[in-house]
Amino acid sequence: MEKETKRAGKVEIEWLPDKTDRMPIYRQIVHYVGTKISNGDWVVGDRLPSQRQLADLFHVNRSTINEAMDELKAMGLIEGNFGKGTQIINNTWSLLVSAKPPNWQSYIEAGIYKANFPTIQMINKLEFMEGITRLSTGELSPDLFPHDMMRKVFQRIPERTRSLNYLGPLGLPELRKVLSQYLRKHNIHVSPSCILIVSGSLQALQLISIGILHPRSTVFVEVPSYLKSLHVFESSGMRLEGVQMDDYGLMPWMLNKNRIKDDTALLYTIPTFHNPTGTVMTKARRKEVFEWCRKNRLPIIEDDAYRELWIDRQPPEPLKSMDHNGMVLYMGTISKSLAPGLRIGWLAGPESVMERLGDIKMQTDYGASSVSQWALAEWIESGLYEEHLQVLRGHLKERRNMVLSVLDSCYKGIASWNHPEGGFYIWLKLNKNISTDKLFQLALEEKLLINPGNVYDFSKNKNIRISYAYAESRALENGLRKLSELIRKLY
């Protein structure tokens, strides 16, 4: 559609806007004129036809021309002048398009919150790559999603929900009542007013970080720890300090007492099916940990995300079940056991702390999705959640056994590993030091995605987190075999 000749002083136009195009006509005109100028076809000082002439030339009405001219003026490319008509006064169209917008990069760099670790950012994106096999992903396979049960739950939601208005700071009262009842199953006795609904466990940590800690607080975590892969505390200035583990769980006597002072420290622990090592803290060790923290007045965040995912036997009761003095902030979720997409977790602890964190939640996102909250209440109350868990445990057992047998046949001599009794994870310890980053790259070339252990640890190490929960069984098996070959190659 483009044909035109240029004459000094006054431009000539032999072009028509495309009325079938999705781009508004006035913007097509802006784009046309802008391109003419930036191409140097039209130069500073050139005059445009009058608005009436332009309307005729473009077969459009005056208001469209008006709009286009206004924008070109706003861009500083032309200037209207009653005496002289409209003139081109600038040729910096390309500059306007590329360089004049705000310098967002400098805004981004100024931002307070740390960017995610490059490896994690990469994993977050690669997970959605076509054809990739995710050997380390910490969630249930889509195959394990209880679709028919979910349908039943969704049918019930409209019956229970007269509206979906804003809720109070602690979350849906009906759900908090259901959870108060549900937690008794684990020997935790808390009233609904001591339960805060959050949009997943990670948000609970985020609220704790900005709600009850200050920038010089210390957060003790197991070595290795899932928490090390997050910036949730460090972005607000807190310091993570590692506590060594043995096969029975973290060793409280290894804690650096000097860092517990002025009521500023917390211990974060996953005592049950620990992420990433799969360790279950024994009953005796739980008592030791609890007692140590009580004596030293060190509050505990107990992350119990994996409790329901036991395979061989029920794990010992939570630390929270020993707590009569509000020592423990207890975190639960259905993200690992049912569906992360609901984005619902809960935090149980002293009422004053729950109120403080609820107040901040109101100030940052006005609460969690009511739809998700109603859905979870229905899942638990209907008994479908328990039913689902029983089925799920069977599937996880099969998957775990399959993976353990692949490890037995392909990884002997190159690695050692734990035999998890629940949860998702096998912590694969390589026998030799190799670059797990290099392994990550090699695996990626084979369309295998792994989470290198150094994401979770305090120093470079030679571990890989394997999850038997996510990948499709056949792909998981083949992927693990392939991975063993890559490791051998690097040895």
Which residues from 84-143 bind its own copies, rule CB under 8 A?
Answer: 96-97, 100-108, 110-116, 121, 124-125, 127-128, 139-140, 142
Q: Residue 302's Cα: distance from chain center in Å?
A: 20
Count of chain residues binding its own copies (CB under 8 A): 110
Least CB distance to its own copies at residue 425 (A) = 16
19: contact with its own copies by CB under 8 A: no
Do strands 78-81 and 266-269 pair parallel, antiparallel, or not at all (unpaired)?
A: unpaired
Distance CA 34, CA 71 (A): 10
Cβ 465 vs Cβ 277: under 8 Å: no
Give the DSSP per-residue string, 190-208.
--GGGEEEESSHHHHHHHH
Compute CA distances 301 → 117, 118, 163, 343, whole Å.
Answer: 24, 27, 34, 20
- Shorter beta-carbon distance to its own copies: residue 367 or 420: 367
Measured CA to CA, the distance from residue 395 to residue 141 in angstroms comes to 10
Residue 20 interacting with its own copies (CB under 8 A): no
In the window 267-326, what residues touch its own copies (CB under 8 A)?
A: 287, 290-291, 294, 297-299, 322, 324-326
Q: Cβ(283)–Cβ(316) under 8 Å? A: yes
Structure tokens, 444: 């990626």
By CB under 8 A, what part of segment 357-376 binds its own copies?
359-360, 362-372, 375
Q: Tell me the angle at which helices 473-490 and 436-445 cross, rounded to the nearest 10 degrees.
A: 130
Which CB, 14 or 263, lies closer to its own copies? Answer: 263
Helix (H) / strand (E) containing 48: strand 47-48
| Per-residue x/- track, 446-485, its own copies (CB under 8 A) | ----------------------------------------
333 contacts its own copies (rule: CB under 8 A): no
Pick from 91, 206, 337, 463 the residue near its own copies by CB under 8 A.
206
How far apart, in Å, are the Cα atoms of 18 and each of 22, 23, 68, 433? 9, 9, 15, 64
When the beta carbons of 170 and 442 are compared against its own copies, the nearer one is: 170
193 is an interface residue for its own copies by CB under 8 A: no
- Residue 344 is classified by DSSP as -
Cβ distance to its own copies smaller for residue 139 or 446: 139
Q: How far is the CB of 461 from its own copies (least distance, A)?
A: 23
Residue 3, classified by CB atoms within 10 Å of its CB into exposed (0-12), middle (13-18) or buried (19+), is exposed
Task: Work out how close the CB of 152 gets to its own copies at its nearest, in angstroms, rounded to a whole number.
Answer: 9
- Which residue in 33, 179, 353, 483 binds its own copies (CB under 8 A)? 353
Q: Say whether residue 225 binds its own copies (CB under 8 A).
A: no
**Is position 45 an interface residue for its own copies (rule: CB under 8 A)?**
no
